[in-house]
Amino acid sequence: MTDDVEPRRYRTEDAEEVTTLLNRAYRELQEAGLNFTAATQDVATTRRRVAEGVCWVVEHQGRVSATMTMSVPPPDDIRSLSEHAQQSDTGWLCQVAVGPELRGRAVAKTLFDAACAWAISHGITRIGLDTAASAEHLIAMYTRWGFAHVDDIHFPGKNYDSAVMTRDLPSE
């Protein structure tokens, strides 16, 4: 865990900063040709997606510089595409983003640890996520966190296939 950042719960007034962060953090994936929603989403989309779950943020130098949302149950679109998102007691990681200024400092892992602690305390036994199958650096990070690749899907309107990854959580 990094020593100078502390996750906190999202507040409604964070919506614009979270949107700016998501657009910034996903820009390089967009430049690589992947049309992730987060690369271009507006504030209304951020509010809607955050409302689907529990969101944490990390501030750095007075602004939101990292975020992660856990949706319980997983969002409808992933549940319609993967049986792994249909299992009861499953949380889904969504819109994980760390600004370039904090990358390489275990900030995403710090957010993930906060999300896991919350999930365990709320009876969640499995966490899933999806990401572009070609985003090898993200697949590698999630694998280090204990996730296993369990499915491949394709979201309508996306120009890439997604890898579905899951991992079990210890009981409380």
Range of the structural domain that residue 33 is part of: 8-129
140 occurs within a structural domain: no
Distance CA 11, CA 39 (A): 21
58 occurs within a structural domain: yes
172 occurs within a structural domain: no
Domain count across the chain: 1
170 occurs within a structural domain: no
pLDDT at 56: 98
pLDDT at 172: 64
What pTM was computed for the model?
A: 0.93
Is the pLDDT assigned to residue 3 strictly greater than 90?
A: no
User: How many residues in total does the chain contain?
Assistant: 172
71 occurs within a structural domain: yes
49 occurs within a structural domain: yes
What confidence tens digit (pLDDT) does each residue in 45-56 have?
999 999 999 999
CATH number at residue 61: 3.40.630.30
What confidence tens digit (pLDDT) does each residue in 91-149 have?
999 999 999 999 999 999 999 999 999 999 999 999 999 999 999 999 999 999 999 99
Helices (H) and strands (E) in the chain, counts: 6, 7
SS3 label, residue 131: strand
